[in-house]
Each structure stands twice: as C-alpha cells, then as structure tokens.
Amino acid sequence: MTSGTSSTFRIGGEIEVRRMGFGAMRLPTEAGAPRTASIALLRRAVELGVTLIDTAYMYGWGANEELLVEALHPYPDDLLIATKVAIEQSAPGAEAQVNGRPEFLREQVEQALRRLRVERIGLLQMHRLDPEVPLADQLGTLRELQLDGRIGHIGLSEVTVDELEEARRIVDVASVQNRYSVLDREHEAVLDACDAAEIAFLPWRPVHPAASTATAEIAAVAAELDATAAQVALAWLLDRSPVVLPIPGTASLDHLAENVAAANLRLSDEQRERLDRIAKI
C-alpha cells in the first residue's frame, strides 16, 4: 500500500487539482432558499481551496450542472468541473437507464458543453458502461470527441479491473470513480490497478454511512486526533494512495469546512494500521 502524502494530483498527468474534491450530487437545486444556500456553499468550497467538483447529467437531469454555472461561472482558472454521461431518463419520473450508444453520447456531451458554458470538458466520465454496446464503440466515440477538442480527459465509473484493462486498450483512462471507503473496500483491486497506472481514483460515498455513528476503532482514532469520524475516514483515504481524490458531498457549510480540513489530518503509522484492519463489509 502506497502512502498518499501529496496534497495535489495531476489528472491525466496534466490537470493539477487538490486531492480533496467536492461531490455536488446532494445539493438542492429547487428555486428559493434551498438553491440560494447551494450556491453559497459552492462558492465557499472554492474559497476553501477546492479545485475539483464532481457532477453528472443524472443529478437532477442537468439541473445540478446548471446550478454550478449559476454559482461559479465564469470559472476560476484552477477549477476542474468533472461531469458524467451515459445515463438517460426516457420520461419524467421514469427510472434511469444506461445508454452508451454513440449518437446518444455525442448528444449528451454537446448538451453538457452548453449547460456548463464551456468549449471543452476537462474530465468527462462514463457514468456506467453499457453492456449492450461494444466498449470500443462507446469509448471510441469519446476518443473522437477528445480529438475534436470537446473533451480533455476520459474517465470511467463503477468498473472492474478487467473492464479497466479493456478500456485502456482503447483510450487513455484518466480517472475511475468507484464506491470505496474505510468501511467498504469491495473495489480494492480496482484502486490498486489505478495506483499502479497513476490513474486518479475518485471514491464515491467516501464517508460510509456507518462512519457517522463510527465503528469503535474509527471513533477511537477520532478522539485521539480531536477530529470527527468522517474526517478520520477521509484522512485514511488520502493516506491510502496518492491517486485517491475523495469527493465528499454535503449541503452543510459546517460539514464542508470539516471535510476540507480533513486534508490536513495526519494519521500515525499505528493509527493507519488499526484502520487498515477494520473488517471489510
């Protein structure tokens, strides 16, 4: 296990971001006080030094991306907004479905460019791979858009080691976004593969719900460091590998500040080993 001590990472070897990012999925987008609060929180995140914000078309079917525009456009030069495509809703209220057809991906990318008011999406991620469409067709489409200058770097989400290896034979994969935390290590092998290839790994749900009440070991380490259980969980992720870029989401200004501050938390070797031993679930 490689220790992750650097505070920044270059996605695709090019885009330097601070490793503690922000996931915008939870932010309310409805008009009025909730939207005003979401805008204030996004602006505060940037003030606190966040340079990576994760969104997706699926989050409100474009509404989340539009919220980011209202809050942050024109974007700071060092801010990377990463979005995701390949999910559709056939009708209002219908269940989300994976769609990796080339024509659909092209249209989604063009819509994302318009919504985000950019000419190029720095990091465009496949929300899910479509098992009904050849992978070469899906990623080949994104590669063409990349060559056209519409996409900077290509990322994946919820993939296996084998899928990652197959994808890397088609395109340069800059990031992988899988579920992972100190209490949920199902995708350990995928993280190890990303570590070996220096591919950014963006764990979603980086603070497992159980960390809110904390296991005994997490609670003990938190008490020793005068920190919260969530901060310990995030510090463990940052320490896990230099390619890990947590994207915790919150609608609370207090929790946002706590999450960002977790980047400064340092675990001792002994504390890290205790957390490493927590049973996988």
pLDDT-based confidence at 125, cuts 50/70/90?
very high
Are 265 and 229 a contacting pair, CB within 8 Å?
no
Of 24, 57, 17, 26, nearest to 43 (Cα)?
24
Catalytic residue among 57, 59, 75, 180: 59
pLDDT-based confidence at 279, cuts 50/70/90?
low
pLDDT-based confidence at 3, cuts 50/70/90?
very low
Of 80, 87, 30, 91, nearest to 56 (Cα)?
87
- What does residue 224 show for φ and ψ, rounded to 5 degrees? -65, -35
Residue pointed to by tokens 């606190």: 48
**Alpha carbon distance 236, 230 (integer Å):** 10
**Alpha carbon distance 58, 65 (integer Å):** 10
pLDDT value of residue 260: 98
pLDDT value of residue 2: 40
pLDDT value of residue 75: 98
pLDDT value of residue 91: 86
Q: Record the pTM.
A: 0.95
- B/e letters for 248-262, b = 16+ CB within 10 Å, e = fewer, are bbbeeeebbebbbbb
- What does residue 278 show for φ and ψ, rounded to 5 degrees? -55, 135
Are 145 and 109 a contacting pair, CB within 8 Å?
yes
Q: For residue 4, is pLDDT > 50? A: no
pLDDT value of residue 93: 85
Q: For residue 215, is pLDDT > 90? A: no
Q: Is 75 a catalytic residue?
A: no
pLDDT in tens, 162-182: 999 999 999 999 999 999 999
Q: For residue 31, is pLDDT > 70? A: yes
**Alpha carbon distance 281, 271 (integer Å):** 20
pLDDT in tens, 144-156: 999 999 999 999 9
pLDDT value of residue 281: 47
Please name the residue ranges forming H helices in the chain. 33-47, 63-72, 102-116, 135-147, 161-168, 188-197, 210-213, 216-225, 229-240, 253-261, 269-276
Residues 6 or more apart whose Cβ sits within 8 Å of residue 26: 249, 250, 251
| Beta-ladder partners of 204 | 179
**Alpha carbon distance 56, 112 (integer Å):** 9
**Sheet containing 121-126, strands listed edge to edge, beginning at the edge strand earlier in sequence:** 22-23, 52-54, 80-85, 121-126, 151-157, 173-177, 200-201
Cis previous bond, 74, omega within 30: yes
> How many Cβ atoms from other residues are within 10 Å of residue 17's Cβ?
22
Mean per-residue pLDDT over the chain, rounded: 95
- B/e letters for 29-59, b = 16+ CB within 10 Å, e = fewer, are beeeeebeebbebbeebbebebbbbbbbbbb
Residue pointed to by tokens 């929790």: 255
Q: Which domains does the chain have, with CATH numbers?
A: 8-207+242-265 (3.20.20.100)
Q: For residue 280, is pLDDT > 60? A: no
pLDDT in tens, 86-116: 999 988 888 999 999 999 999 999 999 999 9
Q: For residue 120, is pLDDT > 60? A: yes
